[in-house]
Amino acid sequence: MYRKTYALINNDILEENVKNIKKKYNDYKYYIGVVKNNAYNHGIHIIPSLIKGGINYLAVSSLDEALEIRKYYLDIPILILEPIDIENVDIACKNDITISVDNLDYVKELVTKKYKKELKIHMIIDSGMNRLGFQNKDDINESYKLINESDNMFLEGLFTHFATSGFMDSYYDRALNKTYELISDLDLSKIPIIHFARSLTLIRHDKCKYTTGIRLGILMYGYNSIIKYSTSLKDYLRCKKRENYLKKNHISPTYLDNDLNVKPAFSLYSKVISIREVKKGEIVGYDANYIAKDDMLVATIPIGYADGVNRNFGNVAINKKKYPILNDCMDMIMVEIDNTVKINDEVEIFGNIISQEEVCKNLGTNAYHLYSFISNRVVRVHIENNEKSEIKY
């Protein structure tokens, strides 16, 4: 790495997160780590730490992602969460990659083909999100029968994905009951991996019936969405309003708070490459987006919107002190500093002093989006067993 802009990914924290999740939610056999989009942009070489923590299945969104992981990790089962083109199923099968099916026509075509190895399949059930999945009970029953009758396919799993898992959420119960109804004719004892819950379902709701697995995404990466009420009158009223809503609508228990210990493992750094004095009335950066209100000192940092960082992030931290971002370019941001800052000082974009929550709040977004913004141009430095290694993805 010659440009000192990097994401620091603490694999040890991720291992600990998985261990803590498993300790608290210990009633499952399959802990499926969702590692799509280069492991939520942490980099796929977090996988050994996830496995050490207790992840025993991986999930990705495409065959390309699955094959990239298979190059390095031969033994761990991998599920593709979206249906793939039927002409590529052979490639998945050859590489021990599990596919997902979501409609009867696809299954009918699948069973006409011969595969050299047993093809592992998970069925997707649409619980109301209207994105993917079977919507019709007859199609589910017929697909189940077709797959079970085929001699080189194995219906290993069945899953749904919940659109909500919220705060005053009447959709969740409907989605769950719809799923139960759609699968009610199947002999579920023949399907080893039944997985409905994603991270927020897990922390907000009771365990879903029949499930033997969970899919862990953002929670495993350290984002625990806790909502706590303060003792203020405003919060008391909000809390009462919610309780009454849940009661009136017969909504099943929803937990806003929990004692699960997970921590973010992703922090982002760069360094100061230039410092200049700017006089009152002068501009900083493109388009006169910023005009100096007074004489000031400005530092230039080599990280820009091509790396996923822009002026809306708000602040950076240098030597543990926060400084405001004034303007951005494709490759750099400019920051107002004071005379304690020196060339080559390390700059934290987020991590310890600037929390991910603070950045998400400034951007009006959440951790899923924040991680996705950080581009692959940013080198990932992984910490594992307290040792650092640099990886360019």
Ligand X SMILES: Cc1ncc(COP(=O)(O)O)c(C=O)c1O
- Binding residues for ligand X, total number by CB under 6 A: 11
Closest CA to 35 of 160, 202, 204, 215: 215
What is each CA distance from 82 to 157, 214, 381, in whole angstroms?
14, 17, 30
Q: Which of 58, 81, 125, 333 binds ligand X (CB under 6 A)?
A: 81
What is each CA distance from 122 to 18, 79, 125, 194, in whole angstroms?
24, 8, 10, 9
* Side chain identity at residue 52, one-letter code: K
Q: Which of 9, 21, 34, 379 binds ligand X (CB under 6 A)?
A: 34
Stretch that binds ligand X, among 84-92, 198-206, 278-286, 351-359 (CB under 6 A): 198-206
Q: Which of 199, 211, 224, 356 binds ligand X (CB under 6 A)?
A: 199
Looking at residue 117, what DSSP letter applies?
S
Residue 160 engages ligand X in binding (rule: CB under 6 A): no
Closest CB 25 distance from ligand X, rounded Å: 12
Stretch that binds ligand X, among 7-15, 185-193, 217-225, 332-340 (CB under 6 A): 217-225
Interstrand relation of 57-60 and 78-80 (parallel, antiparallel or unpaired): parallel
- Whose Cβ is closer to ligand X: residue 7's or residue 214's? 214
CB 325 within 8 A of CB 275: no
For residue 383, count other CB atoms closer than 10 A to its CB.
Answer: 16
Residue 60 engages ligand X in binding (rule: CB under 6 A): no
Residue 218 engages ligand X in binding (rule: CB under 6 A): yes
- Whose Cβ is closer to ligand X: residue 58's or residue 299's? 58
Closest CB 351 distance from ligand X, rounded Å: 21
Stretch that binds ligand X, among 150-158, 193-201, 245-253, 310-318 (CB under 6 A): 193-201
Residue 198 engages ligand X in binding (rule: CB under 6 A): yes
- Whose Cβ is closer to ligand X: residue 131's or residue 209's? 131
Residue 179 engages ligand X in binding (rule: CB under 6 A): no
What is the C-alpha separation between 118 and 152, in angstroms, rounded?
Answer: 5
- Whose Cβ is closer to ligand X: residue 102's or residue 328's? 102
The pair of structure tokens assigned to 321 is: 């002190």
CB 391 within 8 A of CB 379: yes
Letters for 84-113 (x = contact with ligand X by CB under 6 A, - = none) are ------------------------------
Q: Which of 42, 45, 161, 205 binds ligand X (CB under 6 A)?
A: 161
The pair of structure tokens assigned to 159 is: 């899953």
Ranked by CB distance to ligand X, the top (closest) residue is 217
Q: Which of 128, 217, 304, 308 binds ligand X (CB under 6 A)?
A: 217
Phi, psi of 78 (to 5 degrees): -130, 130
What is each CA distance from 280 to 19, 74, 270, 275, in whole angstroms?
54, 60, 27, 16
CB 58 within 8 A of CB 77: yes
Find all residues with CB under 8 Å of 141, minimum gap 6, and list them.
Answer: 185, 186
What are residue 268's DSSP bridge partners? Answer: 7, 350
Residue ranges of alpha helices (H) inside the chain are 11-24, 36-40, 47-53, 63-72, 89-94, 104-110, 137-149, 171-182, 199-204, 233-248, 356-363, 367-373
Closest CB 76 distance from ligand X, rounded Å: 17
What is the C-alpha separation between 60 and 254, in angstroms, rounded?
Answer: 28
Residue 215 engages ligand X in binding (rule: CB under 6 A): yes
- Whose Cβ is closer to ligand X: residue 198's or residue 380's? 198
Letters for 308-347 (x = contact with ligand X by CB under 6 A, - = none) are ----------------------------------------
* Residues of the shown chain interacting with ligand X in the complex, contacts defined by CB under 6 A: 34, 81, 161, 198-200, 215-219
